[in-house]
């Protein structure tokens, strides 16, 4: 009896996602009925292309290049942002400094740095990774800074009474208490990192990667490939955000998801 109940509960969680994806595919397919295939190929055509395309070396290189940049840039940004946020939470002066710095950086779209960085470092990974870091460190820093500033005073005092040193306060109270904000910050930062990665590749930061590939497909008017890359770029982001980061969240914040048994 328990099995069907489990199934219906999973379904309850899944159906809004399924409906959202379905709506988009439906709009696409309906539009495809009215347009010639070279302007807008239908869903089945692109899905077929997807099945064949994901084994092509060209595509795999493209994917590998993008993921490499992401895997270097995004964690560095998280680490940097987390560290700066923690420091700012502990020192009021540094908090004001960091907020001003972020306010300035936020008013400049990250992609604007590309020409500057290309002149400085040349084409390739360095300008793109730098843009990822600029774009994604500050949601992390802000989130962690706010959490550190708003830390529960009693939690700190309990530790002091129990004999905690400064370092122990940091490790045993500040860190676990701000952990939920690390995760929230990391989720927002991921969106920024992904967007700026693809955009940087498109505007010419490098001659490889998913962003470069979609731009190339557009230049040669290969609509099927353009749509294929849109689908892939979306799918990878959704996978990271809803599967990898969500899994991490539930693992690290186990105590938040525990059922009450009062």
Partner 1 sequence: MQTLEIQRVHKSFGSLKVLENINLTIEKGKFAAIVGPSGCGKSTLLRMVAGLETPDEGTVQADGKVIKQPSPERMMIFQEHALYPWLTVGENVEMGLELAGVSKEERRKRAQEVLKTVGLDGFYNYYPSQLSGGMRQRVSIARALVMDPDVLLLDEPYGALDAMTRLTMQNELLKLWEGSGKTMLLITHDIDEALYLADQIFVMSARPGKVVQTIDLDLPRPRSRHSQRFGELRQEIMQLLGLEE
Determine the number of helices (DSSP H) and then strands (DSSP E) in the chain: 12, 0
Is 177 an interacting residue with respect to partner 1 (CB under 8 A)? yes
Considering beta carbons, is residue 80 or 175 the nearer one to partner 1? Answer: 175
Is 163 an interacting residue with respect to partner 1 (CB under 8 A)? yes
Number of residues in contact with partner 1 under rule CB under 8 A: 26
C-alpha to C-alpha distance for 116 and 231, rounded to whole angstroms = 31
Out of 3, 93, 251, 255, name the contact with partner 1 by CB under 8 A.
255
Out of 55, 161, 219, 220, name the contact with partner 1 by CB under 8 A.
161
Q: Which stretch binds partner 1 (CB under 8 A): 88-96, 132-140, 163-171, 240-248?
A: 163-171
Is 195 an interacting residue with respect to partner 1 (CB under 8 A)? no
CA within 13 Å, CB half, 251: 6
Given a contact cutoff of 8 angstroms between Cβ atoms, the answer to whether 43 and 32 are in contact is yes
- Quote the Cα angle for 136-80-70, to 5°: 45
C-alpha to C-alpha distance for 199 and 120, rounded to whole angstroms = 19
CA within 13 Å, CB half, 15: 6
Considering beta carbons, is residue 109 or 176 the nearer one to partner 1? Answer: 176
**CA distances from residue 224 to 41, 207, 217 in whole angstroms, order as listed:** 6, 21, 9
Considering beta carbons, is residue 82 or 205 the nearer one to partner 1? Answer: 82
Out of 158, 221, 235, 248, name the contact with partner 1 by CB under 8 A.
158
Q: Which stretch binds partner 1 (CB under 8 A): 80-88, 93-101, 118-126, 150-158?
A: 150-158
Q: Which stretch binds partner 1 (CB under 8 A): 47-55, 95-103, 111-119, 151-159?
A: 151-159
**CA distances from residue 116 to 113, 126, 141, 249 in whole angstroms, order as listed:** 5, 12, 24, 36
Is 259 an interacting residue with respect to partner 1 (CB under 8 A)? yes
Instruction: Build a one-symbol-per-residue string for 215-254: x at contacts with partner 1 by CB under 8 A, - elsewhere.
Output: --------------------------------------x-
Phi-psi region of 156 (alpha: psi -120 to 50; beta: other; left: phi over 0): alpha
Min dist. Cβ of residue 175 to partner 1 (A): 10
Q: Which two tokens stand for residue 257?
A: 């998801």
Contact residues for partner 1, defined by CB under 8 A: 152, 154-155, 157-165, 168, 172-173, 176-177, 179, 253, 255-256, 258-262
């Amino acid at each position: 009896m328990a099995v069907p109940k489990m199934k219906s509960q999973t379904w309850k969680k899944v159906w809004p996602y399924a409906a959202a994806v379905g709506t988009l595919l439906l709009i696409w397919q309906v539009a495809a009925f009215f347009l010639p295939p070279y302007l807008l190929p239908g869903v089945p055509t692109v899905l077929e292309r997807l099945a064949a395309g994901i084994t092509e070396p060209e595509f795999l290189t493209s994917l590998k290049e993008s993921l490499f940049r992401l895997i270097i840039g995004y964690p560095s940004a998280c680490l940097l942002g987390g560290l700066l946020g923690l420091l700012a939470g502990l020192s009021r002066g540094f908090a004001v400094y960091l907020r001003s710095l972020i306010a300035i950086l936020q008013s400049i779209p990250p992609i604007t740095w590309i020409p500057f960085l290309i002149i400085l470092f040349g084409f390739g990974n360095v300008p793109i990774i730098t843009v990822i870091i600029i774009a994604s460190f500050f949601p992390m820093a802000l989130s962690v800074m706010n959490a550190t500033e708003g830390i529960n005073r009693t939690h700190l005092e309990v530790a002091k009474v129990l004999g905690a040193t400064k370092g122990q306060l940091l490790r045993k109270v500040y860190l676990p208490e701000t952990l939920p904000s690390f995760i929230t910050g990391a989720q927002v930062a991921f969106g920024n990192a992904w967007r700026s990665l693809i955009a940087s590749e498109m505007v010419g930061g490098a001659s490889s990667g998913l962003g470069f590939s979609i731009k190339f497909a557009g230049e040669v008017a290969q609509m099927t490939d353009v749509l294929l890359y849109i689908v892939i770029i979306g799918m990878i982001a959704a996978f990271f955000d809803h599967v990898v980061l969500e899994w991490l969240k539930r693992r690290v914040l186990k105590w938040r998801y525990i059922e009450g048994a009062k």
